[in-house]
Structure 1
């Protein structure tokens, strides 16, 4: 059996009853985090452009655009909600890094709303989307050109897997979905730090939904799209692809559990998490006063994508210097840290001049923050596994603190609690449109 058909058969054959309870619980944690990101993302500056663009383009009112008070066709809703879900860079992150939630979940939710699908199938669709996307990412990681942003390469396949499962497609239709999605890949790392980055998962969700809809209507594609000599692996990875990682042991283990995922404590790139926590530890453990600082050095592996002078608040999510400076100045790093107002404030401009990165980093792999003080003394603190990482998990209360903050940027307190109740019991929700009717309400905008 071909690799493409093997994956398609697995997707078609796997139902909610086949999922171990631990996988279901992990999926619900991830889905809750992802939906909260969509809600908070829906009121960001770039979401204002996307929300108006999708609304003005028109479409059959079948699926809700989160936080906007209107419906459109499922692929368009999946695109908007995928952008919202990724724009904060706050969603969970798998290993190797790729944004499986914002590529898979928006398409499953949009199609489930339109077709009145129960929550347990959305859970199954999400698990399968995450699984396929993660396997393809792991199989291709050594050969992935750094100029490609990974969710643009593997996200459409994850979105197609989740969408095919949501629609209940058979193995042959799912095979065609994967073949269609394989021709919808791309996304440039050059756009990291700009609004375009969040369209990579958004496009993956849209293309995944469209691929499954077309396949369900009888549209055809190659049945060997992944392994063909002129197919996916050959075109994108020069044929350097670990097929056993992609297709071996399907159903014997699940990537949501092994290797698991990190829950981001801070709304910034995953590589910034240890640096932020190390800087917070430096401040908190030493009673550090900003006025006493001569220079702060962050010792880590690599300098970060955006460098010492980010072009915007959004770009600051990828700057070690900016993230650490915000932690030291404010004693916290949250959604509002990454606005242009905070980025270009006088104290931040001054503090950035005192920040340095030492890119060799400790041999332990920990991130070390060191401050040279004006009195000649030196203090330091480190972080090796940020709170929320797979090796240092958040408690339920800590997770709920994060998601409540996200939800309440777009929803009332009462609606936040309604959504939390449904998502924590998603397998018992008979019709996902009940959930989306709450999430789709127009949020207050400044």
Structure 2
């Protein structure tokens, strides 16, 4: 090989490692000084919401099944299982099971481009924090959490395909595992080279098919992302090596997207004015446990019901002859007659008809007795879906229009462009805290619920984040056992 061609090859190799190297350097070099008030406020809201839906999720059948499996494994290191008093597991298993809890009801936050960012990160960080000789402070936890969120946000912006409702891979299983690796690498203070290796290892864990949406397996995608990102970081810490250009190559992280165009992280990390993705793009916080698209339908259908009640205080659903839902085209959330709670959480038709009947959709809407209602089943049979060409399957631009036709010829229509809880219309702090308290109170006693909310609100000033973890295991069952009379 000539000297000129050899130089060209070396130059090409350097260019093809630039993005990955920039990520490794950024993960290692981010500091608390880079955080700002907006990012701290938004990330604390995400943490509080994630803890609440995770605690509620610890009461679900899919959580119980995964817990039964995870309890087979023991290790010298152990981390807490949320909502399970006195129960600990190996840190990877704790990250796995708590991640499953977060997504078990599809109640966790959603971002744009589409993913569930928090559930892949927080369980991994809390599991890791319990194993460290020097417990991290709340500020260190916040920084690591934001590093994991930032890496996900940057990776999703390397593809136009990622901006639309996914068709092939479930995003938390793709970018979530990378975020988990980045966050745990930060908490362990790994070097830039070690951070690159953690990302390289994590990329080989990434990916899960969308075919398992609307099944009990879907929550495992988030649990696996939390666990495998943590595992990738621990393997990198032990010296395991991967492809140092993993983020640069079409055959690397680019395999998940057909239009992958990676870009280096800016050199602005050298000062403290770094612009975080979370600063520019807030997350959506759900008011009820279902796929994000359902929230547009529910708000539009509730608005139609309100119109009908104004004109007909004795509104009778049996008089509805047709319900038309104008929504984006997306096969996995177009389910005319769902038979399980997981299918119902991914059904435009179910959410629309539930809101028409009740005026809202709630946690209880997906219970067996609510799903089996005769009025609901009859309404589902009279519901059809249309996909207008201008309604693109994109969480930032989509809308839902609901039209209800009555037997007397009356027709009512309502459209939702931005539901309450969307990043353009975020929940008030009062409503977000209220959601957390309602969810957490299903497992924790009131004193623990209040304590967790207060700790998260002041997280950047908490010297030891393990105080937060201790309250997550103060469950009602333990207190009831202690207070019960003994024979």
Bin the TM-score by the shorter chain: over 0.9
Please identify the structure whose Cα radius of gyration is greater.
Answer: 2
CA deviations 1:96-118 (Å, max 9, x no partner) are 11111111111111111222211
Spell out, residue by residue over 1:52-75, the C-alpha distance to the aligned partner (whole angstroms, 9 max, x if none).
221233344521111122111211
Q: Which moved more, 1:215-224 or 1:70-79?
A: 215-224
Q: Which residue of 2 aligns with 1:241?
A: 260
How far 1:345 sits from its partner (Å)? 3.2
- Write the mapping of 1:132-171 to structure 2, written as runs, cut at 5 A: 132-142=151-161, 146-171=167-192
Q: 2:110 aligns with which of 93, 115, 122?
A: 93
Matched, 1:68 2:88: no
Partner of 2:454: 421
CA distance in 1, matches of 2:131, 2:474: 16
Q: Supply the distance in 2 between the matched residues of 1:400 and 1:285 (Cα, whole angstroms).
A: 30
**Residues 214, 315 of structure 1: alpha-carbon distance in 2 compared, 3 angstrom cutoff:** same
Q: 2:38 aligns with which of 19, 22, 25?
A: 22
Aligned position for 1:256 = 278
- Provide the C-alpha distance between the structure 2 equivalents of 1:387 and 1:394, rounded to a whole number of angstroms: 6
CA shift for structure 1 position 442 = 4.6
Counting only pairs closer than 5 Å after superposition, residues 17-416 of structure 1 correspond to structure 2 as 17-60=33-76, 62-69=78-85, 70-115=87-132, 116-142=135-161, 146-228=167-249, 230-233=251-254, 235-237=255-257, 240-244=259-263, 247-248=265-266, 252-287=274-309, 288-302=315-329, 305-306=332-333, 307-360=335-388, 365-416=398-449
Distance apart, 1:324 and its partner CA: 0.9
Residue 205 to residue 250, structure 1, CA distance change in 2 (3 Å): farther
**CA RMSD in angstroms, aligned pairs only:** 2.2
Deviations 1:220-251, CA, capped at 9 Å, x for gaps:
22222222464222x3335x32222x634765
CA distance in 1: counterparts of 2:159 and 2:319, whole angstroms:
48
Structure-2 change in CA distance of 1:122 and 1:289 (3 Å): farther
Q: Partners of 1:357 and 1:237 in 2: how far apart?
A: 29
Distance across 2 between alignment mates of 1:249 and 1:316: 46
Q: TM-score, normalised by structure 2?
A: 0.86
TM-score by length of 1: 0.93
Gap regions ≥5 residues in structure 2: 1-16, 310-314, 392-396, 479-487
CA distance in 2, matches of 1:333, 1:361: 27
**CA separation of 1:304/1:228 partners in 2, compared to 1, >3 Å: closer, same or farther?**
closer
What secondary structure, in the 3-state scheme, does the structure 1 residue paired with 2:419 have? Answer: coil
Summarize deviations over 1:350-372 as a string: whole Å, max 9, x none: 22112222221776953211111
**Structure 1, unaligned runs of 5 or more:** none
The number of aligned residues is 442
Q: How big is the shift at 1:123?
A: 0.8
The Cα shift of 1:433 comes to: 1.6
Say if 1:315 and 1:249 are closer, same or farther in 2 by CA, change over 3 A: farther
Name the SS of the counterpart of 2:289 in structure 1.
coil
Q: Please report how far the alpha carbon of residue 89 of structure 1 lies from its aligned counterpart in structure 2 after TM superposition.
A: 1.3
Deviations 1:267-299 (A, max 9, x none): 111111111111111112331442332222112
Q: Contact 2:73 / 2:89 at 8 angstroms: preserved in 1?
A: no
CA contact (8 A) 1:314 1:339 kept: no
8 A contact 1:294–1:374 mirrored in 2: yes
